[in-house]
Amino acid sequence: MASLFGALDASANTLNAYTQALNVVQNDVGNASTQGYAAQSAIFTPLPFDNFAGQGGGVTYSGSQSLRNEPSERNLQAQNSELGSANALVTSLSNLQTSFDVTGSTGLSAALPAFFTSFAALSQNPSDEVARQQVISASQDVASAFQSTAQAVSDASNSATQQIQSTVSDINNLASQISQLNQQQMNSPSPDPNTDASIHADLQNLSLLTNMTYSVAPNGSVNVLIGGQTPLVSGATAYAISAGSAPVSATAPQPGGVPSEIIQDSNGTDITSQITGGSLAGTLQFRNQTVPGLIGDTQQTGSLNQLAQGFADRVNTLLTGGQISSGPPAVAGQALFQYSSQNPGTIAQTLSVTGITGDQIATIDPGPPSTANGIAEQISNLSTSSAPSDQINGLTFPGDYGQIAAGVGQQLSNATTTQTQQSQAVAQAQNMLSQVSGVSLDTEAVQLTDFQNAYEATSKMVTILNDLTETTINLIPS
């Protein structure tokens, strides 16, 4: 009798084990498309068989084991960080590039040539009032083009600053979610696969925002570090980061310029240098490098301001060195452009035409020899002059603008190339992760069939043992 009861008990344990295993398969199938979910494998522990001791053998369910491959997870996160950075750069630079036309149809690429053309026309007929008025109009167009271009860069800078703030908020929200999920894992008797899926989904989303590393504790919780150094999540605690303006030194080259954006940890320590991946890094690069290169910051004037100042100063120098009338008495020329010199970072944005009228434009070069159209001709030739005094950065004024615009285009081209490459790298990493950790419906179908067959066979065994037990009992004399 003892062996019959032992066999019956062992069969019951085995039935329960297969029931739990079927639940694991069901959970896998139900979460096949859940972000961050890793396939689970049922764990069976064999029971001792000793017929004389009443131990009927069989198996018992000992939980499930995750098939998650952490190295593949980390590889995907690394590729995500590179893609996130490229995406942010492409978005910011695409919006900015529209303000740096190189086709000659809009903006400075059209206004500068038109300005020099207007002076060329004036040099042909210095006394023509219509030609003089066209110079004033062309000058206003150039000033307006500088202003609108600088304003577009400034708007892009403000947009990037807002995006940095928004990204930091998203990072902190994810960190808070992970800490709460960590608490659930820490309170669970064993790591829960569904909570684990949520944690890893948040980690993947986080990797698109910033570069980070993480470690997994035995209880299934994770500790997250930004840049491998700064704690973001530790167990059930999240450490919020913040964004703000860098402090400006009184000895900075341009103390009145717009300061860079920085990222600080929960203690207020600057960790910007640790942000090397994710959309936060891409937006920081645009905000702290691309924008200052154009309109300056506390460390530099910016190429657009340098061009605006060099252009305006050279034109004004020629005009004020010329004459409106040779007299007697001779009447000196007047400046055509003006700008605010208090902050070099605003030169392009404040460039405008003075109150000069058409009849106040100096065209006479006093020489010797004196020429009635000498100044107008010199200004018209600025578009092609190779004289160092007529150039900026070794280029003509239109050439310098072309180089500035091409620089923006090249940055966008590089970012787009990286974006394409990283999109492919992410797809490959996702495919690799799916192969080693994802749910295969084909595999689950095979397991489901095997467990069902084993369950049915064990059920038949239980039925047989039950019948034998009843028969044995009935044979015992009452």
Which tokens in the block code for residue 424?
Answer: 């492919």
Residue pLDDT, tens place only, 126-168: 999 999 999 999 999 999 999 999 999 999 999 999 999 999 9
Confidence class for position 23, pLDDT limits 50, 70, 90: confident
d(CA 122, CA 116): 10
pLDDT, residue 150, reads: 97
pLDDT, residue 96, reads: 95
d(CA 71, CA 68): 9
Residue pLDDT, tens place only, 35-57: 778 767 666 677 665 555 555 56
Location of structure tokens 């039950």: 466
- Of 290 and 43, the structure prediction assigns the larger pLDDT to 290
Domain extents in the chain? 2-67+440-475, 73-302+397-430
pLDDT, residue 2, reads: 44
d(CA 144, CA 352): 7
Residue 471, CA distances (Å) to 210, 252, 466, 468, 474 in order: 71, 99, 9, 5, 5
- Of 202 and 464, the structure prediction assigns the larger pLDDT to 202
pLDDT, residue 1, reads: 43
Beta-carbon contacts of 337 under 8 Å, excluding residues fewer than 6 positions away, are: 139, 143, 311, 312, 315, 316, 351, 352, 353, 354
Location of structure tokens 């160092």: 388
